[in-house]
Homo-oligomer: A and B are copies of this chain.
Amino acid sequence: MQNPADNVDLGTMSESLGFLLRLAQIDAFSRLYADDGLSETTVGELSILHVISRNPGIRQGVVGRTLRIKRAHMTKIVHGIEAKGLLTSTTPPQDRRAVALTLTDAGQSFLHTHWPAVDAREIATTGDLTPREADTLRRLLRKYLGISDPQATREDLAS
């Protein structure tokens, strides 16, 4: 189903960061969604829930900028998640234009149920890369994105 030995000449596309990232991303998520029961949730929803979980009361717009989701789309997704009872939105008194997002208990337990599968798969599905190469890849992607490096908790690194 993927790219067997079709032996296609990709030309300069195989030197294009954009297209390599595009293909790699598709593969990564297809691996992620392969066996697990994540089918109930979309990638957008899951990532939004995760970010809110780590940053309770975060502004909706900040979540959108972080995840590169446009404001119009954020509104739709957030309302959808809210309708499922997984998060609550409040208006902060300091800026009554904004919307602050927090997970409900149901949202927290939903995330606790589904997110570990993501983390687990990540380790198992790095293709032909050695663990060391996979780490280098992650580090370079973070640098490319301007994300500060070991943002994982100290406990994670120690384990």
Contacts and interface: CB of A to CB of B under 8 A. Distances in A.
A106 interface: no
Contacts of A58: 8
A65 B144 CA distance: 28
A110 to B, nearest CB: 15
Interface string A113-139: 001001100100011110001101110
B17 A122 contact: yes
B145 A51 contact: no
Interface stretch (A26-34, A73-81, A83-91): A26-34
A158 interface: no
Contacts of A141: 17, 20-21, 23-24, 137
Nearest to A1: B65
B27 A25 contact: no
Contact of A134 (B17, B28, B122, B151): B17
Nearest to A128: B143
A50 B8 contact: no
